[in-house]
Amino acid sequence: MEIITFGCRLNACESGIIQEFAAQLGVDDYTLINTCAVTAEAERKLRQTIRKLYKENNEIKIILTGCASELHPQEYLQMDGVVGVVSNKFKLSKQEYEKYATGKSNGEVATPTKVRGFLQVQNGCDKRCTYCVVRLTRGPNVSFDKDDIVSRARELLHKGYKEIFLTGVNVSSYGRDKSTCEDLSTLIRYILQEVPELTRLGLSSLDPADINDELIDVITSEEHVLPHIHESIQSGDNMILKRMMRSHTREQVIETNHKILEKRPNVIFGADIIVGFPTETDEMFENTMKLLEEGNITLLHAFPFSKRPNTPAARMPSVNKKTVQARVHEIHDLSKNILKSKFAEYVGKQVRIIAEEEYDGKTDTFLPVISSTKLTVGKIYDFYCDSYDENAILGKVIER
């Protein structure tokens, strides 16, 4: 079965699991699209893809799952080529795909060389961010069993993945729904204790409000936790954060990141930022720009605000579209300069990288590198940083 995946790492993780179900059941002549509803743009691209697939083959049979088809199942079922919608609730239930099975299967899943595996540890979210539809499509926070997580981590390593990223809708709220005093920090320690052969454990996006001292201690003391922390910051202005119903402040982000850098100076921070949230003034936007430097944010994902149906933010007065676009350009330009300065700091240094393509890879801190030496995908190398351009650090493998 061909699977097209939109959206987040969680969707990528789930697509991998569905692909295995399809191979085991023999679901061949269907195309599944794992959809995303985080922005209006994601849904526009989905509709465009469905139309293009149908135009190319009017006998195509498309199954939809994920947040967009969860939000508007009837609307998508009316589109040509769409034959079924699998709700998020049953997305990872193998039975759900039996009705599409032809029974002819070899159980084999042809996948590219395995570099980074995604391990889902929870689903859903109990927070109430005013711009978010994900909490509407994925339901409340549900933390998975830690021993089940450990056995799936072993499975991923057994399949050849070199590093594993913990993922979910809101990873840092792990354990909140449990009566036992578990949280993300205890889970990480448990995984590393039970799976000592796991030497590269990464974390997907963390909510700054959930990065407590225990989690800081794990991030800074466990050498097998990759030194790259991505935070769903969304804005650098406290009034906007309040209107988003985020539970952190800009000061908290700055303090947390400083605390982490004091104990583990090579950590690289990434952040998600929404630009042009309703009522955002130039001054408020300036506070977000300033936070990139004050919070040591090197890797930026900045998106224009997208009005989502049935969210409180959709009823707030919006910022002029041209202004939003200008701000997105401005913050991307700033982020490019910050990234280049960080690349410059690596010149002359020896670092460890993982190869993602024949000449491309990532440092342990998740910075992109381009190698003049040919690489074996999935292999870990010692790497000498010669120079850089605006997209990556340039260098070569240190032969031993």
Q: Which residues here bind ligand SF4, judged by CB under 6 A?
A: 125, 127, 129, 132, 134-135, 169-170, 207
Q: Are 30 and 62 in contact (CB under 8 A)?
A: yes
- Of 156 and 274, the one with the shorter C-beta distance to ligand SF4 is 274
- Of 174 and 381, the one with the shorter C-beta distance to ligand SF4 is 174
Per-residue DSSP letters for 259-278? HHHHH-TT-EEEEEEEES-T
- Of 38 and 187, the one with the shorter C-beta distance to ligand SF4 is 38
Q: Are 202 and 116 in contact (CB under 8 A)?
A: yes
What are the residues whose beta carbons fall under 8 Å from the beta carbon of 212, sequence distance 6 or more?
Answer: 183, 185
Q: How far is the CB of 293 from ligand SF4 (least distance, A)?
A: 24
Q: How far is the CB of 247 from ligand SF4 (least distance, A)?
A: 9
Backbone angles phi, psi at 145, to 5 degrees: -70, 135
Instruction: Give CA–CA dist 320/281, Å, rounded.
Output: 11
- Of 160 and 309, the one with the shorter C-beta distance to ligand SF4 is 309
Q: How far is the CB of 137 from ligand SF4 (least distance, A)?
A: 10
User: How many C-beta atoms lie closer than 10 Å to residue 192's C-beta?
Assistant: 18
Q: How far is the CB of 310 from ligand SF4 (least distance, A)?
A: 13
Q: How far is the CB of 277 from ligand SF4 (least distance, A)?
A: 12
- Of 134 and 367, the one with the shorter C-beta distance to ligand SF4 is 134
Instruction: Give CA–CA dist 249/233, Å, rounded.
Output: 9
Q: How far is the CB of 135 from ligand SF4 (least distance, A)?
A: 4
Q: Provide long-range contacts, Cβ within 8 A and 24+ apart, for 360-364.
A: 360/392, 363/393, 364/200, 364/226, 364/227, 364/228
Which residue matches tokens 């408020």? 284
Instruction: Give CA–CA dist 191/187, Å, rounded.
Output: 6
Q: How far is the CB of 327 from ligand SF4 (least distance, A)?
A: 20
- Of 129 and 397, the one with the shorter C-beta distance to ligand SF4 is 129
Q: Are 206 and 232 in contact (CB under 8 A)?
A: yes
- Of 125 and 324, the one with the shorter C-beta distance to ligand SF4 is 125
